[in-house]
Every structure is written in structure tokens, then in C-alpha cells.
Amino acid sequence: MSEEKQIKIKEVVQLNGYSLKASGAVDLVLVAEYGELVKSVQVLQMLNNDVTIKAKVPGNKAMMLGVWRVKNVIVDGDGESKLKFNGLSDFIEMQNLNLLPLKSDDNPRFQILMEAQIEIEE
């Protein structure tokens, strides 16, 4: 028996780049510091589910980044984690990705809210 559960995870991240392929596939990579490690591990619950991601950049209103799938979560030796997502451009707000701060900006960190409806096995 299984039940559906809505999961929400807020995490502070930095943009590590994104790419749009000719096929319309979009890859997004976010990096989180050691202090966010527990939240990064929680993201694994969202594997194989549609994940809605919203971003809140300091000084701006929250904006929708689109619907993604978790590609992988990589944790390195110092506890920094890379969250890799992919999706299709039809479901991604490309203009909002362009508004995310770069690592070279004065404040490259921003908050994301990831939401997914997952199935929990008992």
C-alpha cells in the first residue's frame, strides 16, 4: 500500500550553470554549501517525480523556474553538494533562468523552493 505526499524543500544555493540543447532538453546545476547538506540529501526523495522549482533572489520577488526531474545529487568530500536537474524547454521558464545571479555577482546565493508529489511505500 502506498500514499501520496507533498514534499517541499527550501535550500540556499548558487548557480553552477545551465544549458539548452537543440533537442529542447535543459540541464541545470545548482551548488549548495555544507550547511545545506541535509536538505540536499532530502532531494533524493524526489527522484523520478516532477519537481517544481521556484527561486527567490534577494531584492526580487519569487519566480518560477519550471518543472524539472532530479538527474543526480553529488556530495563531495567537504560536504558541498551539486544538485543536477533536467527538463524540457516547454516546461522551463528560460527567461527566469537568465535572471539568476552568477558566481561573480556580489551576492551569488539565492533560495530555491522545490516541490514534488511523491509516493510513499509503507
Q: How far is CA 35 from CA 59, 78, 114, in A?
A: 23, 11, 17
DSSP state of 11: E
Asked if pLDDT for residue 22 goes beyond 80, the answer is yes
Pick from 76, 74, 65, 79: nearest CA to 18: 65
Domain locations in the chain as residue ranges: 14-116
Q: What is the pLDDT of residues 33-79, one digit of tens each?
A: 999 999 999 999 999 999 999 999 998 999 999 999 999 999 999 99
| pLDDT for 2 | 77
DSSP state of 99: T
Is the pTM here over 0.85, yes or no?
A: yes
In the three-class reduction of DSSP (H, G, I as helix; E, B as strand; rest coil), residue 51 is classed as strand
| pLDDT for 50 | 97
Tell me which architecture the domain covering 14-116 has in CATH. Answer: Beta Barrel (2.40)
Bridge-based pairing of strands 51-56 and 81-88 is unpaired
> Helix/strand/coil (H, E, C) string of 71-103?
EEEEECCCCCEEEEEEEEHHHECHHHHCCCCCC
Alpha-carbon span 85 to 36, nearest angstrom: 17
Average pLDDT, the chain: 95
- Would you place residue 104 in the very low, low, confident or very high pLDDT band (cuts 50, 70, 90)? confident
Bridge-based pairing of strands 109-121 and 2-20 is antiparallel
What does the block give as the cell for 54?
521556484
- What percent of the chain has a predicted confidence (pLDDT) above 90? 89
| pLDDT for 122 | 74
Neighbours of 75 (CB within 10 A): 14
Identify the weakest region by mean pLDDT among 42-51, 90-99, 100-109. Answer: 100-109
